[in-house]
Chains A and B, each alone.
Chain A
Amino acid sequence: AQSVTQPDIHITVSEGASLELRCNYSYGATPYLFWYVQSPGQGLQLLLKYFSGDTLVQGIKGFEAEFKRSQSSFNLRKPSVHWSDAAEYFCAVGGQAGTALIFGKGTTLSVSS
């Protein structure tokens, strides 16, 4: 079955500290992987995506993610978190054009001062 697991429901990080949000996927074909961010009352905004090639991808707002096929993972990282990064983060997986994205249940990030 195709699925996305985000093991951490809620994470609290101090401002300025590093961040890693975990994502594991199960997908029968070559996966296309995405991270989205959702601020309260807003829609989802694309942070970054991985299709092929270099397994470390850079996104907006200083985020990056690393694809590890052997671990079926696509973890999101940021070296120094800002208070404005507090939001909910969603990992998603899809296949070729013509398929829809499957989303994880999200990880809520809180940033403490």
Chain B
Amino acid sequence: DAGVIQSPRHEVTEMGQEVTLRCKPISGHDYLFWYRQTMMRGLELLIYFNNNVPIDDSGMPEDRFSAKMPNASFSTLKIQPSEPRDSAVYFCASSQAGLFYGYTFGSGTRLTVV
């Protein structure tokens, strides 16, 4: 299995632009999570899905952030408009049967908003 695949690995964009981060979970995994990692705040849960349905989006910072999971093999996290304070590493993770097997993380997308 190729693991959790995130794209792009790096993204540099100008303030005000739309940014879309992509994630392909491991086949057969029914949970998908989006986390954001910064030096100041560590790893923060943004949103997670179960069977493609959003379960908890209370960690999404504000209306500029949105996430979708149109099918079991693809999810997107969109920021529109982007701001410099959105600069962070965004991780996608997937799991099977909730927590029992732990999460498998992707390699992350490093977002820089200038």
Kindly list chain A residues whose C-beta atoms are within 8 Å of the C-beta of B97. 97
Contacts of A94 in B (CB 8 A): 99
B13 within 8 A of A: no
State how many angstroms separate the Cβ of B1 from the closest Cβ of chain A.
14
Q: Are B99 and A103 in contact (CB under 8 A)?
A: no
Interface size counted on chain A using CB atoms at 8 A: 25
Q: Which residue of chain A is the closest to B56 with respect to CB atoms?
A: A100
Residues of B contacting A96 with CB < 8 Å?
A: 98-99
* Contact string against A for B residues 82-103, beta-carbon threshold 8 Å, 1 for contact and 0 otherwise: 0000000001010001111011
By size class, the interface of chain B is 20 to 34
- Bound form: Cα–Cα A97–B43 in Å: 20
B55 interfacial contact with A, CB 8 Å: yes
Of all chain A residues, the one with the shortest Cβ separation from B46 is A100
Smallest distance from the beta carbon of B65 to chain A beta carbons, Å? Answer: 16
In this complex, what residue of A is CB-closest to B33?
Answer: A100
Instruction: Please report B residues at the A interface, Cβ cutoff 8 Å.
Output: 4, 33, 35, 42-43, 45, 48, 50, 55-56, 91, 93, 97-100, 102-108
List residues of A whose CB falls within 8 A of some B CB: 32, 34, 36, 41-46, 49, 51, 90, 94-106
